[in-house]
Amino acid sequence: MRASVISENVREVLLTAEQIKDRIAELARDIERDYEGRKPLLIGVLKGAVMVVSDLARELQIDLEMDWMAVSSYGSGTVSSGVVRILKDLDTDLSGRDVLIVEDIIDSGLTLSWLKQNLESRGAASVQICTLLRKPERLKVDVPVRYIGFDVPNEFVVGYGLDHDERYRNLSDVVVLKPSAFGGSDDEISGPVEPARKVV
Ligand code: 5GP
Ligand code: MG
Ligand code: MG
């Protein structure tokens, strides 16, 4: 990683910018094949998915549209409550549309499960999900995800759109922070972080 004032808070790089770029290109080939002859509506979930949507959309060599939604699933902590509020709604009428929700990460799955049902109830012809990252250990609900980049360990990750308290979104890599970045002690570190795994 390039040296920066925030890199001193990084404990481990889970996915490099290059690994992310390569995987997004692979997902784009799958999506192009599945949506051939249609014009999907990519729905980016703000703010974390901004980088994924921006790179995925430019990689996709098909006709598409983009729209954005902001939802809030967390109270104050880092644990999903399952209570979802729409903070910014779509501008697009979904009737008959092929919707592809694009997310940064699925943790409990509660947010996406709610969102998928919400978009289906608006008359979309199809609603599929693409996520760059998934934490398989944490899934609480069974939500079908068609396109998945990587499985990551049960650690709080930041970078490539993902934040901690609005910081670190601009990192090109996906990383795990040191405990000291959360106000803890770095003496707590016991061993290396498990690697991320491409989902095949
Ligand atoms: P879920 O409803 O699946 O539990 O929560 C999904 C949302 O929680 C993600 O879109 C993301 O905003 C946030 N989130 C879950 N895990 C992480 C993580 O490890 N790092 C960051 N920065 N956000 C996370
Ligand atoms: Mg998100
Ligand atoms: Mg966040």
**Is 107 one of the annotated active-site residues of the chain?**
yes
Ligand 1 atom closest to residue 106's alpha carbon, by position in its atom list: 3
Q: Residue 20: its pLDDT value, please?
A: 98
ipTM of the complex: 0.94
User: Which amino acids bring their CB within 6 angstroms of ligand 1?
Assistant: 48, 73, 80, 103-111, 156-158, 162-164
Measured from the Cβ of residue 152, the count of other Cβ atoms closer than 10 Å reads: 25
List the shell of residues around ion ligand 3, using CB closer than 5 Å.
163
Measured from the Cβ of residue 134, the count of other Cβ atoms closer than 10 Å reads: 22
pLDDT tens, 3-42?
565 788 999 999 999 999 999 999 999 999 999 999 999 9
Q: Residue 34: its pLDDT value, please?
A: 98
Ligand 1 atom closest to residue 79's alpha carbon, by position in its atom list: 4
Ligand approaching nearest to the C-alpha of 102: 2
Q: Return the residue whose CA atom lies nearest to atom 5 of ligand 1.
A: 107
Q: Residue 83: its pLDDT value, please?
A: 77
Asked if pLDDT for residue 197 goes beyond 90, the answer is: yes
Band (146; pLDDT cuts 50, 70, 90): very high
8 A C-beta contact, residue 199 and residue 149: yes
Best probe residue, ligand 1, of 80, 105, 130 (max atoms within 8 Å of C-beta):
105
**Which tokens belong to 101?**
């929700």
pLDDT tens, 57-108?
999 999 999 999 999 876 555 566 667 899 999 999 999 999 999 999 999 9
Q: Tell me the percentage of the chain whose pLDDT exceeds 70.
A: 93
Q: Tell me the percentage of the chain whose pLDDT exceeds 90.
A: 82
Ligand approaching nearest to the C-alpha of 106: 1
Q: Residue 143: its pLDDT value, please?
A: 92
Domain ranges of the chain: 17-152
Best probe residue, ligand 1, of 162, 165, 174 (max atoms within 8 Å of C-beta):
162
Asked if pLDDT for residue 124 goes beyond 80, the answer is: yes
Question: What is d(CA 166, CA 189) in angstroms, rounded to the nearest whole number?
Answer: 24
* Residue of 55, 104, 107, 173 marked catalytic: 107
Question: What is d(CA 147, CA 60) in angstroms, rounded to the nearest whole number?
Answer: 14
Ligand 2 centre and the CA of 187: distance in Å?
Answer: 30
**126-134: strand order across its sheet:** 80-88, 65-74, 41-46, 98-106, 126-134, 147-151, 197-198
Q: Residue 78: its pLDDT value, please?
A: 58
Ligand 1 atom closest to residue 168's alpha carbon, by position in its atom list: 22
Adjacent-strand bridge partners of 140? none
Asked if pLDDT for residue 110 goes beyond 60, the answer is: yes
Residues near 153 by beta carbon (within 8 Å), at least 6 away in sequence:
135, 137, 193, 194, 195, 196
According to CATH, the topology of domain 17-152 is Rossmann fold (3.40.50)
- The residue type of 95 is S
